[in-house]
Amino acid sequence: MHVIERLELLLKEAQQAIQSAGNARALEEVRVKYLGKSGLVTEVLKGLSQIAPETRPQVGKASNDVKNRITELLELKQEGFESKGGSELPLGWDPTLPGRRQPMGKMHPLTRVQQEICGIFKSFGFDQVEGSDVETDYYNFQALNVPPDHPARDAQDTFYLQKGLLLRTHMSPIQVRVMEKLKPPFKFVAPGKVYRHEAIDATHHHIFHQVEGVLVDKGIHFGHLKGILDNWVKKFFGSKVETRFRPSFFPFTEPSAEVDISCVFCQGKGCRICKQSGWVEMMGCGMIHPVVFENCRIDPNEWTGFAFGMGVERLTMFKYDIDDIRLFYQNDLRFLKQF
């Protein structure tokens, strides 16, 4: 009767194992352990030929009963999993099938480039600040030395809101907002959206992005401005790229300059992108005008500084040879996936 006792013990063990199986995978392991090809119950059945012929039918029946009982219990438990919907690994599920790849979202190219621009300035020790898209005429124009009838307003067609508010036409109002609050020395960059009432074409959009920068300290002169911006250009575009500072005009800086960089596509030889000139205009800059300092109650005899402003779309278009600004705003995945 030794074999029959062993079978009873196996049934008990199997019962317990089935009961405590928490999911279909565990249940399958129990089935393999007892009823699989070399399972414990299967082995007993295989060994029948070695048993004395008189007891063989009895043992045979007992082991079949145990096998059937275990099968029944397994099925019951499996049904329980399925009706609860809690099966971690339902029968018929093939864990060796390759998984389905989920598409991953990415940062918009403008966000990436904006972070890259500011990241380089932060590595130079600049802070990053933010302003509001809605501004007053005072901060957007007057405090920046642009009086109401100044012709410089023509170049920045403004979206006016109610109650004397407007959408900022550039990031420069942040200069006044920060300088009113902080005592020099300081240096910061400010990225953000700006708005202009312009017709949209391949190079113009009524919403675009700028990064504004300011550095104020004692004894700051144009050489510092050139040094910082030349270093920034070399980090952003590559160490072989050269800068050229051309005299320009902005009401809020004196002197003012436009920064050109040598064309990265033809190394300054002249091509379609730089319109055969070898140079591409990249940003505006200058020494902060004494009137702007005075408007912020900073003494221009004690402190000097420089400011600059650059267009994120323009930089991105140049860096990646994109010829239409509208691509940034069409949400076409064929375009966005390339970055």
Number of residue whose CB is nearest ligand DAH? 309
Distance of CA 77 to the CA centre of its chain: 46
In sequence order, the 6+-apart residues with CB closer than 8 A to the CB of 86 are: 23
C-beta of 170 vs 187, nearer to ligand DAH: 170
Amino acid at 233: V
Q: Please report how close the Cβ of residue 258 comes to ligand DAH at its closest, in angstroms.
A: 8
3-state secondary structure of 129: coil
Kindly report the number of other CB atoms within 10 A of residue 127's CB atom: 15
Residues 243-282, mask of contacts with ligand DAH (x by CB under 6 A): -------x--x-----------------------------
Closest CB 194 distance from ligand DAH, rounded Å: 7
Would you count residue 141 as binding ligand DAH (CB under 6 A)? no
Kindly indicate which of the ranges 3-11, 126-134, 230-238, 304-312 contains the residues binding ligand DAH, using the contact rule CB under 6 A: 304-312
Which of 285, 292, 312, 317 binds ligand DAH (CB under 6 A)? It is 285
Q: What's the burial of 192, exposed, middle or buried (CB within 10 Å: 0-12/13-18/19+)?
A: buried
- What is the distance, to the nearest Å, from the Cα of residue 284 to the centroid of all Cα atoms in its chain? 28
Min separation Cβ 137 and ligand DAH, Å: 15
| Pattern 169-188, ligand DAH, x by CB under 6 A | -x-x----------------
Q: Of 31 and 168, which has the nearer Cβ to ligand DAH?
A: 168
Q: Which is nearer to ligand DAH, 89 or 152 (CB)?
A: 152
Strands 243-250 and 253-262: antiparallel
Q: Which of 286, 295, 298, 325 binds ligand DAH (CB under 6 A)?
A: 286
As beta bridge partners, residue 309 has 212, 284
Q: Is 184 or 286 the residue whose CB approaches ligand DAH more closely? A: 286
The yes or no reply on residue 308 touching ligand DAH (CB under 6 A) is yes
> Shortest gap between Cβ of 290 and ligand DAH (angstroms)?
14
Question: Measured from the CB atom, is 42 or 156 closer to ligand DAH?
Answer: 156
Site for ligand DAH in 211-230 (CB under 6 A): 212
Residue 31 near ligand DAH by CB under 6 A: no
- Amino acid identity, position 65: D
Helix-, strand-, coil-residue percentages of the chain, each rounded to 5: 45, 20, 35
* Alpha-carbon gap, residue 174 to 215, rounded angstroms: 13
Residue 144 DSSP one-character state: G
Which residue in 272, 257, 319 sits closest to 109, CA to CA?
Answer: 319
CB 304 within 8 A of CB 287: yes
Taking the complex as a whole, the smallest distance from the CB of residue 103 to ligand DAH amounts, in Å, to 37
Burial of 305 (0-12, 13-18, 19+ CB in 10 A): buried
List interacting residues with ligand DAH (CB under 6 A). Answer: 170, 172, 212, 250, 253, 284-286, 307-309
